[in-house]
Amino acid sequence: MKIVLSDDARKWFEEEMVAQTGDYIKFFARYGGSSSLHEGFSLGVMKEVPDELAVETERDGVHFYIEQRDYWFFDEHDLHVDVDSHLNELVYTYEKA
């Protein structure tokens, strides 16, 4: 499994979360909402230093990752992160790895 970020998504993290070289951005499963993979769970995102990395991608010195405890959520799918340009919000899609 891998994390794939569009150039627009990378820019979004820089502008909206003030992501800078050396920062860590975590994608995690959270209870509530829904996703195309799991009803009752959605994907959260936050700046946080990792505990137990399962997957990591680095773009321009910023580390994007998923921890071992959240790996189940992705159910053998790659995470693709883009931006809805009209809403200026992140869009997540999952592609079978």
Per-residue pLDDT of the chain (97 residues; tens, 9 = 90+): 999 999 999 999 999 999 999 999 999 988 777 676 666 778 999 999 998 999 999 999 999 999 999 998 887 999 999 999 999 999 999 999 8
Distance, CA of 52 to CA of 59 (rounded, Å): 20
Q: Any idea what the Cα angle at residue 64 is, between residues 69 and 52, rounded to 5°?
A: 30
Structure tokens at 73: 């959520």
- pLDDT number for residue 94: 92
Cα–Cα distance for residue pair 58/49, rounded to 1 Å = 14
SS3 40: strand
pLDDT given at position 75: 79
- Sorted by where each starts, the structural domains of the chain and their CATH numbers stand as 3-96 (2.60.300.12)
